[in-house]
Amino acid sequence: MQQLLQVFILLPVAAFLISLLLPRKREMAISFLAITSISIHLLGLVSFIAYWAFNQFPVLDIKHLTLFQTADIEIFIDFYFDRISAVYSLVGSIIALIVAIFSKTYLHREEGFKRYFVTLLFFFTGYNIVIFSGNFETFFVGWEIVGVTSFLLIAFYRDRYLPVKNALKVVSIYRFGDICLILAMWMSHHLWNENITFLELNDLSLVTAHLEQHYWFGVFVSVMIVIAATAKSAQLPFSSWLPRAMEGPTTSTAIFYGSLSVHLGVFLLLRTYPYWETMVSVKALIVFIGLSTSIVATLIGRVQSTVKTQIAYSSIAQIGLIFIEVALGLHTLALFHFAGNAFLRTYQLLVSPSVLSYLVHDMFFSFKSNELGQSNRLKKTIYMLSIKEWNLDFLLHHLLWKPFKWFGNLFGFVNRKIMTALLMAGFLSGLFCYNTQKTVPAVLLDFLPFLYSFIALVLILKAFTERGDALNGWFAIVSSQLFIALSIALLNENFEHNHIMIYLSGSMVSAMVGYTCLKRIKRIDNNIDLSQFHGYSYEQPTVALIFLIAGLGLVGLPFTPTFIGIDLLFSHIHKREEVMIIMTALSFLFVEIAVLRIYARIFLGQHKKAFHPVAFKSS
């Protein structure tokens, strides 16, 4: 029975790969492939769940594939199935089928028809990997795919300014959650000395004994998991990204931000509940986040003037209640609540254009300003705060991103000549020290890893804030990857040459491909500065696609060895080396944002050439 779990991953993967080969103008074939593959997936899933229930609901676990193995670490793909997986997979397949059928007509003759369905199938692949994952590594593969497809579908109307801008906003929050999940995986590796599976986490005696020895490290892991779940499910203080994500087609909004993707944070909490269920402080934190989000989101949703924004905040409020249910151990109720909320929001979003046409003439607003008294002043204050969405965007920008932008702008003087000098002098000298560690003074060996890690962070922030030539930003990103690898190699004497090669093999190939794409675009008009949008996906769609794949390969998406290399890099940072892990985590936080920012500025947005048709309004 365990072997059948692989089918529910391989089927969406096969449909996605076949969809890439279909001609762009063959709408019937593209939609037929998507609808048929999801229908087969749903029928197979229903049959499998029936057979699974007939066998008394056994918990299934299968170690599918070992990606890398040494005496100290094993990175493997593991699939897992229980009641939580059953509910999430069944709801996901039904909603995906409904949305695919609806999209066939809704997006008829849309220029990006094929692009939409290819991305939808890619999302469905990532979603199923998450739901059937049996360990954190497998979970993270699907988690990353969901994040990338979110960016692509929010920016679906890529010739408009707001969709592209909001796509970058959303992926920034997603990336923050990704890094928290990576930190949870990093600490978990050191505490368990293995890649712990979700099946092992259900062993209460094992987890209890583990937490007795490493309680505060266990709290750290749990808090990182909670933050990752909070960011993914748009809970406070990250709630403001969800309405911004609704710039894409209504159908993608329904499946992503009304039903499936936005509930993956709840899934993460449900899957890891056995680990933190004995930690009262963590449960109290989740209850506080859920309760405060429900209250604030309800207040905001009641005063919004757009249907999509009202639905978004209503969904956020319900997910806050589901967070509370999970923390209190009411998991059956949480699963019913998830299914009900997912189906309701999907329906509401799919019919929202019709509702607008029915009610647009009946809308009216009333607000009395002549009433006096303290209670009325409080109502007015709450009303104005809710109209402004409690300034959540402002707070996130000023508290989370602005300090790093300020720091990155301090190094605006760093150009390609300086970066080349750093590579030639700093990197080569560090490489020499790595190969002759026995002859290098111990004080210098202790200092160099932190110096190179700091240089890598500076280069990443330089790329993140770059406003000049895109090649400068790209060169900074590539240089930072070399310094990150070298800093960790110098930090840990057990770091082997093949670990560096695994990490750099994927990223350096991607770096050269991306550089070639940018040079090709620069030859067209000799101007690829990052102070504006260029919109070259209109004229150069193939180059845009190749650059996107190269960028995702550079940051370690799971189709290059870099994905394994990142896991290896983090495993070599000791749990007591706080400064090192902070700088490395920040570097990986901003590298994906910087890459996607270059992609968005060069290939998305309004085309710089005035003779191309331009859509000025947002969707």
283 shares its domain with 166: yes
CA 492 vs CA 195, 241, 425, 488, 564: distances in Å:
20, 39, 22, 6, 18
Tell me, yes or no, whether 504 lies in a domain.
Answer: yes
336 shares its domain with 442: no
335 shares its domain with 441: no
Is the pLDDT reported for residue 387 higher than 60? yes
- Ramachandran assignment for 234, one of left (phi > 0), alpha (psi -120 to 50 degrees), beta (any other): left
Contacts with 74 (C-beta within 8 Å, 6 or more apart), sequence order: 66, 68, 194, 195
339 shares its domain with 483: no
Q: What is the DSSP string of 496-543?
A: -HHHHHHHHHHHHHHHHHHHHHHHHHHHHHS--BTTS---TTTT-HHH
Q: What is the DSSP string of 78-125?
A: EEEESHHHHHHHHHHHHHHHHHHHHHHHHTTT-TTHHHHHHHHHHHHH
220 shares its domain with 71: yes
Residue 230 tokens read as: 């909070």
The residue-averaged pLDDT of 548-557 equals: 87
CA 4 vs CA 1, 11, 81, 452: distances in Å:
6, 11, 11, 47
Is the pLDDT reported for residue 128 higher than 80? yes
Q: Which tens digit of pLDDT belongs to each residue from 48-84?
A: 999 999 988 888 988 877 887 776 677 888 899 999 9
416 shares its domain with 341: no
Q: Which tens digit of pLDDT belongs to each residue from 180-230?
A: 998 888 888 877 777 788 888 888 888 888 787 878 888 898 999 999 999
Q: Which tens digit of pLDDT belongs to each residue from 567-594?
A: 778 777 877 778 888 888 888 888 889 9
Tell me, yes or no, whether 306 lies in a domain.
Answer: yes
358 shares its domain with 444: no
578 shares its domain with 448: yes
597 shares its domain with 516: yes
Tell me, yes or no, whether 368 lies in a domain.
Answer: no
Half-sphere exposure of 452 (CA within 13 A, CB side): 28
Residue 80 tokens read as: 């897992």
Tell me, yes or no, whether 546 lies in a domain.
Answer: yes
353 shares its domain with 419: no
* Domain count along the chain: 2
Tell me, yes or no, whether 609 lies in a domain.
Answer: no
Is the pLDDT reported for residue 344 higher than 70? yes
282 shares its domain with 135: yes
**pLDDT for res 74:** 78
Is the pLDDT reported for residue 41 higher than 90? yes
Q: Which domain holds residue 424?
A: 410-603
Tell me, yes or no, whether 106 lies in a domain.
Answer: yes
Tell me, yes or no, whether 564 lies in a domain.
Answer: yes
Is the pLDDT reported for residue 365 higher than 50? no
222 shares its domain with 91: yes
The reported pTM is: 0.88
Q: Binning pLDDT at 50, 70 and 90, where does residue 482 land?
A: confident
Q: Which tens digit of pLDDT belongs to each residue from 524-535?
A: 878 888 888 888
Residue 145 tokens read as: 């795919």
Residue type, 571: S
Tokens 């093949």, located at residue: 498
Tell me, yes or no, whether 386 lies in a domain.
Answer: no
